[in-house]
Amino acid sequence: MNNLEIEFLKSATTIDSSIFPNSKIPNWIQDRRDAVRVLVKEMPLENMRQWKIDESTRNLKHDSGGFFTIEGIKIRTNWGQVSNWTQPIINQPEIGFLGFIAKKFDGILHFLVQAKIEPGNINTVQISPTLQATRSNYSQLHKGKRPRYLEYFNGEVSVNLLLDQLQSEQGARFLRKRNRNIIVEIEPEREIESNEDFIWLTIGQIKQLMRHDNIVNMDTRTVLSGISYGSYSADTLEGLFVLVPGPRRTRLMLESALNRECAFNNFRNIVSWITRIKSTYDLFVERIPIRQVEQWFERNGTICRDDGKYFTVIGVNVSIENREIVSWDQPMIKPAQEGLLAFIVRPINGVYHFLVQAKLEAGNFDIIELAPTVQCLTGNYRTGKNEYSVPYIKEVLSAPQDSILMDAMQSEEGGRFFKEQNRNMIVEVDESFPLEVSENYCWMTLNQMLRLIEFNNYLNISARSLISAISFA
């Protein structure tokens, strides 16, 4: 057994801690909300300070040349029902840090989490990683303060590396955007500078918080989704479950995460399935000026569609007292409505299997990434309202209450998306649900998905958000 994977599993099954008990967390979050003055106001794009609309292209860019741009793309593909379209997109080629400092207390790994305020956050304060910073931020391009604890991630301070991955961001909104997801460990005896905006929590405590609406931010969720808990034989797991008894669903989920032997599809065939799809379908993305994006218009200080679908690009004026820079303007993406992200799970061979979708999105690095069974981002997924039929939507929305393993509203990243939230669900179906599925779906165990996450850009951020919320306690 890998000692690090066992340490992660111990932390994930520790759902409370004397270091910072669960009973104190709600008051701490409320205190952090009350302690900082936050003011976010929508404003016309053309009035933003330090941002310019280019006269010839109508693209949006920062005076410094850093941070990000809002520009257009033109897509051609032989995938799906729509073969070509144009849209605005965020182009942010720089790679930022999403990082946790971990430390053992009483032999259990705890993670230093931050009560962070982002301009687009629902609930103002959400639980974020220790460090959450773009290259422009930590390079202090904004002339603001250096991000706290940066030295633990940039090589200035000696640490023990636990996880280091490049993972994709929202493929429908970002053009080939990635962040460095990283976890570093410090020795138990090492003291670090304390701050009232930071506390130590176990993985299990963070997962418990994900059962509640809009408490844990997207960046925390994507980092924790990359953690592997190991791959074991069925015989080894039998011994483990004698020591860790639990309800049926907990055992099925642990089996799915840890069992390497009972998968419906072997790993080689899954990789071949992904390769075959990437070899069959094309995705051509051409960067174009906003001026040439069809069906989108500059109107009332925004970039929007006449029909109000998908999203609108807005400007905001932000004042947050505890940030590296306390006041700024920026563009943001405002959704048309909430979305739906859902995995269907089914017991197969005594182990939970997830129905995974291969999904093409305009900003993907390599044509498709693996997504939840149902992924409707800012689209109206309600029956009779959506533009096209969504496979398995009925099974999710009509699921009886006792088959729902998880159901919570979760926010998208609050630094770029304005009050965007999606309903995150995991729904169990019984053995009458067919094993045969269409070409772009595949049954996988959680263990197989976690193996793929290690290789970067296989599972999209929606799938990773759901995976991070899976509890083993």
**Cα dist. 170→40, 361, 429 in Å?**
23, 9, 28
Listed by start position, the domains of the chain span: 3-38+94-225, 39-93+283-332, 234-276+336-468
Pairing of the two strands 368-371 and 60-62: unpaired
What is the Cβ-side half-sphere exposure of residue 267, based on CA atoms within 13 angstroms?
Answer: 13
Position 41 confidence tier, pLDDT thresholds 50, 70, 90: very high
d(CA 419, CA 122): 5
Report the pLDDT averaged over residues 100-119: 97
pLDDT, tens digit, 9 for 90 and up, residues 289-299: 999 999 999 99
For all residues of the chain together, what is the average pLDDT? 93
d(CA 427, CA 175): 31
Cα-to-chain-centroid distance, residue 346 = 23
**Cα dist. 396→94, 339, 374, 449 in Å?**
37, 13, 8, 21
Share of the chain above pLDDT 70, in %: 95
What SS3 class is residue 413? Answer: coil
Report the pLDDT averaged over residues 158-167: 97
CATH number of 3-38+94-225: 3.90.79.40
- In sequence order, what are the beta bridge partners of 426? 343, 406
Cα-to-chain-centroid distance, residue 285 = 23
Pairing of the two strands 108-117 and 96-105: antiparallel
CATH number of 234-276+336-468: 3.90.79.40
CB of 127 closer than 8 Å to CB of 197: no
The radius of gyration computed from the CA coordinates of the chain, to the nearest angstrom, equals 22
Q: Using the structure block, give the residue that is written with the tokens 């701490």.
A: 28
* Number of Cβ atoms within 10 Å of the Cβ of 314: 20
pLDDT at 243: 55
pLDDT, tens digit, 9 for 90 and up, residues 181-232: 999 999 999 999 889 999 999 999 999 999 999 999 999 999 999 999 999 9
pTM to 2 decimal places: 0.95
Which residue from 224, 239, 110, 238 is spatially nearest to 471, judged by alpha carbons?
224
For 108, the enclosing helix (H) or strand (E) is: strand 108-117
